[in-house]
Amino acid sequence: MTVKYDSEDAAPETMVDKAMRSILDHIHRQGLMAGDLLPSEAHFIEVLEVSRTVVREAFKSLAAMRVLEMSAGRRTRVAVFDDTAITLTLSHALRTEQLNPQQLLDARRAIELRIVELAAVRRSEAEARELLDLADRMRLARDEVEEMTESDIAFHIAMAQATRNPLFPVLVSALTATMRDTNAIVWRYRTSETAREEVMALHAAIAEAIAARDPGAARSALEKHFDVASRGLLLAGFN
């Protein structure tokens, strides 16, 4: 096999890389959408003139990237866009100390300040009620950190869904997933009822501002929430 370099610093393109690119080209040329079936592995073996192993590895790599959806006994489909790949990447970066919790929180802050404004303008009545309900659930579970964290994550994802922009829930879901690791530690340093209640009150204020269709008040409450969250991370030793 001839190895091709695009530049002196570029990695060589393998046969699997080429097969992946060809499969993606097929999806785009044919106008396939999420859920649509792909031709069989045998089709790509014949068209690309490569081995079954190459095509199978290409399929597996694209499935790991959530471009394809594969399951035993079923034809391969175009995958639905979700947070799986981004979450895995961020979790890996956090656990290998290539990113830290404060950096992830900074990214969330930048994204969610726009999200909360859009949510206040675009939310439905059902979404407004859901946010208020999730804020109540957080308050009820404030002494059960795992349950509280799941409601907290659901709150921020629900806020993102209310924007009507499908990218925002994916990004927020990926960025908030790390809270399952950090909240348990941070919450141990919020020992007073006042400190814990502050977090609950800010989520309630965000939900109420969104329900009132007040983007300015929603943004202000979210900014205060992130200030409190950042202080909590620092108190717990995350910097």
| pTM given for the model | 0.84
User: What are φ and ψ of residue 152, in 5° steps?
Assistant: -65, -50
pLDDT surpassing 70 at residue 11 = no
Tens of pLDDT, residue by residue over 17-76, are 999 999 999 999 999 999 999 999 999 999 999 999 999 999 999 999 889 999 888 899
Structure tokens at 153: 């994550």
Structure tokens at 146: 């795992």
Per domain, the residue ranges of the chain are 15-78, 99-235
| pLDDT given at position 189 | 85
Residues 59 and 23 sit within 8 Å (Cβ to Cβ): yes
Please give the CATH topology (third level) of the domain spanning 99-235.
Answer: Four Helix Bundle (Hemerythrin (Met), subunit A) (1.20.120)
Burial class of 86 by CB neighbour count within 10 A (0 to 12, 13 to 18, 19+):
middle
Q: Kindly report the CATH number that applies to the domain delimited by 15-78.
A: 1.10.10.10
Query: Which one-letter amino acid corresponds to residue 101?
Result: P
